[in-house]
Amino acid sequence: MSECYEYVPHRLLRRRVRDIASGVEGVLMAVVNENVSDTGIEHWMELAYIRNASGREFTTAATNVEPAYDQPKTAAGRRDQRSA
């Protein structure tokens, strides 16, 4: 019997991302290859699990995930801008 899911490595794991389908941002927690079929015929899809600011996770197609470029600046980054 085959597994019903499989974890997939992703370059944006644990980083702030945006779901391009909904525009919602959060942290990419996992990408999983899942059988999403509710019939007898298997349909496998890579799903991204994203945790939003409220702590609730939602899924989207892994192809809908992009980096959120407007990430908060670190204290060091803010300090460098003031001295420039």
Q: What is the pLDDT of residues 23-33, one digit of tens each?
A: 999 999 999 99
Backbone angles phi, psi at 29, to 5 degrees: -90, -35
Going by the DSSP 8-state scheme, the letter that residue 69 receives in this structure is: S
Residue 47, pLDDT score: 97
Residue with tokens 């899942």: 34
Residue 82, pLDDT score: 52
Query: What's the rounded Cα separation, in Å, for the pair 9 and 68?
Result: 19
Q: What is the pTM of this model?
A: 0.76
Q: What is the pLDDT of residues 30-77, one digit of tens each?
A: 999 999 888 889 999 999 999 999 999 999 999 999 999 865 555 555
Residue 1, pLDDT score: 35
Query: What's the rounded Cα separation, in Å, for the pair 48 and 9?
Result: 11
